[in-house]
Chains A and B, each alone.
Chain A
């Protein structure tokens, strides 16, 4: 298993998304699942960008810094 760090570029904002998944394809699918749960209306125009993955274990995590968090 891996822990993935994504950024989702929407028309008006960038949203960081963190996902645990077994592989890259699975992770991308789970991002969309999470977005569907999060947004009342699923954004139509978006880019889902995978920036980083780490082996998943106790203590694995990411720091989300800068534009992606505060924009």
Chain B
């Protein structure tokens, strides 16, 4: 190893840290071929957690030996051969399930250890990898899914993201970080890569350097959701495009060498940033990078929440990109193959994944757009989706997750479709459903967040699934997490309660006013009163 693990001497290292000193996470890659040959039962239980470094989690119940695999898609950019390969993996090994995550990655389920070597070979042949998609390591780098074609980007970040991603991929100097580590690099002025909820984020900026206006980046550090959400803070630096990789390495080095390893619950970069503060963090950073120019002019204008629906002109005249809705991010393998065909027939074969769990088909000649939109697949994977199914996000839920308390994905889809039938409204409302207090479905940044609980009530003998409602989350203007309203709604009544809640919004909003502006205008207390009234009307228990 090229560096000294000074933390190895620390007395109070947590158990995971001790295990990582005995066996680096990437070493599991050397063992997988043997385990694949000898079967799941040959894997010692103490090696189960190390599979995360290979992009693999055990599904519940773990003893059954099925894996979830996450594949990195840096910036969400996929060539046609990559799309086809992913579809074939889902079809051949994953019961056809193809999920797009809120970090632009792709997830498979139901994989067996025997299948992993072939899946790895297939991924490698097309330049994809699951390595580092999970574990205490640099995860897939979130970026602008429109990189290179975006009229609203200052600079094409596709190659920058790829360069930084490749540096960290399988890099043993950075494979033992204190905790998961999430990076975003985007030059889209609409904050397409959710800067504020990443550990480190490069955001678009300009500055006059040597008398010349230079395009580059500002740097935010210390963001993250999980059970204790924090918004990233901006450092007083300006970074030219050619120095992004160097700065990314420096920030990661600080995290690796100074990040906390005593308690895993305080190990994320956000805790170090909170303790040091942005000034000290900057001082430590420039000790590694040398001088960096001070902050320039910020070019983030607003936040588009990662949505790109519709047909839009690209930077390149005569070409368009088409933003598509994938309901709660779930496709089947045949649909993905159909998307691959469509993107080849009408575009250049690429597709791109969005952190809103959606897709983009880029590089469609303007003259072909109308014909393409007639494709049958777009009846479900819609270009202009209704406002609820189009802006619904869900975590995996109890179907695959060990920690979820309730079913989410299919429930969110059904409720969103019901709301689209019942409530016609002139603005989208972003609804995120999660099955536990963790943040896979990014509940905290939703207009309306729905968090699952399980309840044994005074009226009912059995257990019931229920939800709590949070309102007012956004990453606009630096961000604000949503706040809980009092009241618990049993799952069967969630749809009608939301219907009434959204009808109140519709009837009391100003024309064009979105949920955030409405929330800012009326306040949480007002919405609490509205919800209280709805619960009395809708819930049988409250009415009795």
Contacts and interface: CB of A to CB of B under 8 A. Distances in A.
Contacts of A47: 455-458, 488
B403 A53 contact: yes
A49 B14 contact: no
Contacts of B264: 59
Contacts of B161: none
Contacts of A48: 455-457
Contacts of B466: 49
A24 B402 contact: no
Nearest to A10: B458
> Most A CB atoms within 10 A — which of B14, B15, B457?
B457
B463 A59 contact: no
Given A28-B463, A47-B458, A47-B488, A52 B15 contact: no
Contacts of A59: 14-15, 263-264
> Most B CB atoms within 10 A — which of A28, A50, A53, A55?
A50
B88 to A, nearest CB: 34
Contacts of B15: 57-59
A55 B454 contact: no
A54 to B, nearest CB: 7
A24 B452 CA distance: 14
Interface residues of B, number: 18
B437 A51 contact: yes
Nearest to B403: A53
B419 interface: no
B77 interface: no
Given A24-B463, A54-B403, A55-B402, A49 B263 contact: no
A53 B15 CA distance: 20
Contact of A52 (B402, B436, B463): B436
Nearest to A60: B265
Interface string B1-22: 0000000000000110000000
> Most A CB atoms within 10 A — which of B14, B405, B456, B458?
B456
Nearest to B454: A50
Contact of A24 (B436, B454, B457, B458): B454
B458 A50 contact: no
B149 interface: no
A59 B261 CA distance: 13
A48 B402 CA distance: 21
A28 B436 contact: no
Contact of B453 (A28, A50, A54, A58): A50
A59 B402 CA distance: 19
A69 to B, nearest CB: 15
Interface string B255-269: 000000001100000
B458 A28 contact: no
A47 B539 CA distance: 15
A53 B458 contact: no
B458 A49 contact: no
Contacts of B455: 47-50
Nearest to A47: B457
Interface string A15-36: 0000000001100100000000
A55 B264 CA distance: 14
Nearest to B15: A58
> Most B CB atoms within 10 A — which of A47, A48, A57?
A47
Contact of A49 (B402, B403, B437, B454): B454
Interface of B: 14-15, 263-264, 402-403, 405, 436-437, 453-458, 463, 466, 488
Give the top 9 A-B pairs by smallest Cβ distance, nearest first.
A50-B454, A48-B456, A47-B457, A45-B458, A49-B455, A52-B437, A49-B453, A28-B456, A51-B453
